[in-house]
Structure 1
Amino acid sequence: MEFVAQLLFELVLQVVMELLVELGAHGLKGKRPPLHPAVAFGVYVLLGAGSGALSVVFFHQRFLEEAWAAYANLLFTPLAVGAVMGAIGAWRRRRGDSLVRLDQFLYGYTFALSFALARLWLSASS
């Protein structure tokens, strides 16, 4: 049961951070020209890694203590977060709202994977 709680906390942390970045992206939409998809991909890698590093400041220990669980988190959590962001994008599309790239599975997954890698790397070295 503890493993499930730790995994859920990791998932919720990533979704919350990603939603904050998504809100910021929506706030910037229309204020600047859209980025080339490859540049946007790189930006989301950097934002994800930066958010993961920032999260280590507040939560400096891994939520998933065992190595196998931490590595499993690298596989499952980004997929789940990407699916959540894709679902949010689909919801926004149905409502006729404007979308940002983070409202797509691939960009949501990229952000979440970078976030998880940064947390794993930084929490292991501290």
Structure 2
Amino acid sequence: MYAVDPHDSLVPIFVEHLSSGKVEQVGTGIFIEFQGAPFLFTAAHVTDITEYGSLMAPTANGISAIDGYMAYVDLLPESNRSEDTVDIAYFRLTQPSLEAYLLISSLYISQDAKSSITQLS
């Protein structure tokens, strides 16, 4: 089950801080299917935050850790992320986690927002 509506593809990404347990939104991601596999793309500066805690996204069971393999464009030793013009990372998701994410995506859009989106289409 993959998102075909762009509004179902975009999700917030959170971090649960290791030190405090606090959960806060740190970015967004977009679900895509590539060569039959589910992926969540985001910015590399978002995945850099894994140094401080677990990245999470909304699922049917609440906000849960993102389940999958993470990869990103690494920086040269003398570079820093603010100079990174590519700034891309992704998770190759496990199938069950993708379905859990997509099942709840429409729950986060209010009826007023859905009406506005429909009117813009």
Superposition TM-score, scaled by structure 1 size: 0.29
More relative contact order, 1 or 2 (CA 8 Å, 6+ apart): 1
Structure with max Cα Rg:
2
User: Quick check: which one's helix share is greater?
Assistant: 1
User: Quick check: which one's strand share is greater?
Assistant: 2
